[in-house]
């Protein structure tokens, strides 16, 4: 199994290009199930999760074609991939495919809308919490779908004359359930109003793409989405928005190691609260024509308190990385996790590097230390893995991050991007 070795190596300087967002790319790929025409996605990141979803979608009948490079494209330019579901050949998403990635459960929405039936394996447990599916079921039931669960599968059936538009209020904000209801409602008969919808930028990106495919969605960016159903969708060309979690992660790397880095193509409005939090630690952030410039020249890292919340709040997907940053702060920080009940798995591993963190329920209290020291550590989930890399950037000696397949799910060309700005990081292939 591959591992990543990092040796503390001083400040980071230069440019890191930001990739297309994984969490936008996945639902956009799934949206290709809604039409028989090609959906061409630009700025696609090369990630293990994208590869996994390609095979899941092929099973349903989606053909994909990676288009050639254009003049000026480099190895770090996002790919252009055309997805086409001329025909849905199978409405079952089997356990073997779904268990690898929770987002693959989301095919249930488009399959139900286009084919009237879907049989999708329950996604199963996950390292960051129980992550149930009640909100998916309730919202699709509102559109008239019927469900039964047998042998670990969710069987969904639309009424004989198709899904029907309805008003539905999510009792709790869910990114995935919003994506799914949005996709299903585009082909429902009549108007659907989704209240308390997730406002994450990736939901907006999906809605914009669906509109380009002929859907009629308004309220994009707000917590109330109105969808007037259409009889069919057509092909489109859509560019995946830049990854705000990758942006916030590399910004935390610079805040930790010091230096001055341009995060090319990043957009501040996608992660304003996280950037405000970063500024409180003594890091400068500035938007330029080319992207986001992050710098920390001298001085100590200041402690900061933050609480995760749905967008526009502080993203849970950056919690581990920012916690790593404040392990070296000159005081005590409090980190509260409000989205997932078990997203502190990195704490034990950070402690192996010398961090001083205690947990009480949903709150972690981090008392900054002067030194971290390299050690072998284990990645537990994809964002948690990055917290270990961030700590490794300033730890004395060598940090060895094991189980890096987690990182490959969500960070494109990680070692290449960090070495290009001066980090001493390498991947070692293991048996």
Residue 318 phi/psi, 5-degree rounding, is -115, 0
CB of 107 to ligand EPZ, least distance (A): 13
- When CB distances to ligand EPZ are compared, the closest residue is 176
Select the residue interacting with ligand EPZ from 124, 125, 132, 152 (CB under 6 A). Answer: 132
| Residues 340-359, interacting with ligand EPZ (CB under 6 A) | 340
In whole angstroms, how close is the CB of 296 to ligand EPZ at the nearest point? Answer: 25
| 21-40: contacts with ligand EPZ (CB under 6 A) | 23, 26
Cβ burial of 142 (10 Å; 0-12, 13-18, 19+) is: buried
Rounded to an integer, what distance in angstroms lies between the CA atom of residue 316 and that of residue 329? 20
Question: Which of 52, 97, 112, 135: binder of ligand EPZ (CB under 6 A)?
Answer: 135
Candidate list 142, 206, 382, 394; residue touching ligand EPZ; CB under 6 A = 382
Q: Which is nearer to ligand EPZ, 136 or 306 (CB)?
A: 136
Q: Which residue in 126, 287, 332, 359 is the catalytic one? A: 126
Binding span for ligand EPZ by CB under 6 A among 51-59, 126-134, 189-197, 251-259:
126-134
- Please, what's the b/e burial string for 288-324 (b: 16 or more CB within 10 A of its CB; e: otherwise)? eeebbbbbbeeeebbbbebbbebbbbbbbbbbbbbbb
CB of 380 to ligand EPZ, least distance (A): 12
Yes or no: say if 385 and 345 are a contact pair by the CB < 8 Å rule. Answer: no
The minimum distance between CB 106 and ligand EPZ, in angstroms, equals: 8
Instruction: Establish if 129 lies at the interface with ligand EPZ (CB under 6 A).
Output: yes
Q: Whole-angstrom Cα distance, residue 340 to residue 362?
A: 9
Sorted by sequence, the CB contacts under 8 Å of residue 260 that are 6+ apart come out as 11, 13, 254, 293, 294, 295, 297
**Region near ligand EPZ per CB under 6 A, out of 74-82, 130-138, 224-232, 235-243:** 130-138
Q: Tell me how far apart the alpha carbons of residues 184 and 113 are, in angstroms, rounded to a whole number.
A: 5
Question: Which span sits near ligand EPZ by CB under 6 A: 128-136, 266-274, 286-294, 297-305?
Answer: 128-136
Q: How many CA atoms lie within 13 A of 77 on its CB side?
A: 12
In whole angstroms, give the CA distance from residue 11 to residue 395.
13
Residues 391-410 that bind ligand EPZ (CB under 6 A): 410
Contact 202, 103 (CB under 8 A): no
Cβ proximity to ligand EPZ: between 8 and 410 the closer is 410
Q: How far is the CB of 82 from ligand EPZ (least distance, A)?
A: 22
| Using rule CB under 6 A, residue 172 touches ligand EPZ | yes
> Is 126 known to be catalytic?
yes
Smallest separation, CB 385 to ligand EPZ (Å)? 10
Question: Does residue 306 belong to the site contacting ligand EPZ (CB under 6 A)?
Answer: no
Q: Which stretch, 69-77, 91-99, 124-132, 297-305, contacts ligand EPZ (CB under 6 A)?
A: 124-132
Tell me how far apart the alpha carbons of residues 183 and 26 are, in angstroms, rounded to a whole number: 13
Q: Which of 205, 317, 337, 408 binds ligand EPZ (CB under 6 A)?
A: 317
Specify the stretch interacting with ligand EPZ by CB under 6 A; choose among 56-64, 150-158, 170-178, 288-296: 170-178
* Residue 97 CB neighbour total at 10 angstroms: 21
**Length of the chain, in residues:** 431
**Which tokens is 400 given?**
């060895």
Give the nearest distance from C-beta 342 to ligand EPZ in angstroms.
Answer: 10
Who contacts 396 (Cβ-Cβ below 8 Å, separation ≥6)? 8, 371, 372, 373, 374
Does position 174 interact with ligand EPZ (CB under 6 A)? The reply is: yes
Closest approach of ligand EPZ to the CB of residue 99, in Å: 14
Judged by CB, which is closer to ligand EPZ: 44, or 339? 339
Choose, by CB under 6 A, the member of 80, 383, 406, 417 that binds ligand EPZ. Answer: 383
* Per-position x/- string for 177-216, each x denoting binding to ligand EPZ as judged by CB under 6 A, each - no binding: x---------------------------------------
- In this structure, which long-range contacts are made by residues 279-285, counting pairs with CB atoms below 8 Å and at least 24 apart in sequence? 280/304, 281/255, 281/325, 281/326, 281/329, 282/255, 283/251, 283/254, 283/255, 285/251
Residue 224: is the preceding peptide bond cis (ω within 30°)? no
Q: What's the CA gap between 252 and 402, in Å, rounded?
A: 21
Contacts to ligand EPZ by CB under 6 A: 23, 26, 102-103, 129, 131-136, 172, 174-177, 316-317, 339-340, 382-383, 410
User: Which of the residues are catalytic?
Assistant: 126
């Amino acid at each position: 199994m591959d591992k990543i070795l990092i040796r503390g190596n001083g400040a980071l300087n230069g440019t890191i290009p930001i990739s297309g967002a994984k969490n936008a790319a996945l639902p956009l790929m799934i949206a290709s199930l809604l039409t028989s025409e090609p959906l061409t996605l630009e700025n696609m990141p090369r990630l293990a999760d994208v590869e996994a979803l390609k095979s899941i979608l092929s099973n349903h009948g989606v053909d994909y074609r990676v288009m050639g490079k254009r003049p000026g494209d480099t190895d770090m330019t996002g790919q252009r991939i055309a997805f086409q579901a001329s025909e849905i050949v199978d409405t079952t998403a089997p356990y073997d495919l779904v268990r690898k990635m929770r987002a693959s459960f989301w095919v249930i929405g488009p399959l139900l809308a286009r084919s009237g039936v879907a049989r999708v394996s329950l996604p199963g447990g996950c390292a960051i919490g129980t992550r149930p599916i009640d909100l998916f079921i309730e919202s699709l039931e509102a559109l008239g779908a019927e469900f039964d669960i047998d042998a670990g599968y969710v069987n969904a059936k639309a009424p004989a004359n198709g899904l029907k538009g309805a008003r539905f209020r999510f009792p709790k904000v869910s990114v995935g359930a919003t994506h799914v209801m949005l996709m299903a409602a585009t082909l429902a008969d009549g108007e659907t109003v989704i209240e308390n919808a997730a406002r994450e930028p990736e939901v907006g990106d999906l809605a914009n793409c669906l509109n380009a495919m002929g859907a009629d969605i308004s309220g994009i960016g707000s917590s109330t989405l109105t969808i007037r159903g259409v009889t069919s969708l057509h092909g489109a060309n859509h560019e995946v928005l830049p990854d705000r979690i990758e942006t916030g992660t590399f910004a935390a790397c610079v805040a930790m190691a010091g230096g001055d880095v341009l995060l090319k193509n990043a957009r501040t409005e996608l992660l304003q609260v996280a950037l405000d939090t970063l500024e409180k630690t003594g890091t400068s952030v500035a938007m330029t024509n080319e992207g986001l410039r992050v710098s920390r020249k001298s001085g100590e890292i200041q402690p900061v308190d933050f609480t995760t919340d749905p967008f526009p709040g502080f993203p849970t997907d950056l919690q581990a990385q920012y916690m790593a940053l404040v392990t070296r702060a000159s005081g005590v920080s409090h980190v509260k996790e409000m989205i997932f009940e078990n997203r502190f798995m990195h704490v034990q591993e950070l402690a192996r590097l010398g961090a001083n963190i205690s947990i009480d329920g949903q709150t972690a209290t981090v008392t900054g230390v002067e030194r971290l020291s390299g050690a072998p550590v284990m990645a537990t989930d994809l964002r948690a893995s990055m917290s270990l890399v961030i700590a490794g950037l300033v730890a004395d000696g060598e940090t060895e991050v094991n189980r890096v397949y987690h990182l490959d799910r969500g960070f494109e060309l990680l070692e290449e991007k960090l070495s290009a700005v001066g980090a001493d990081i390498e991947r070692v292939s293991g048996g």
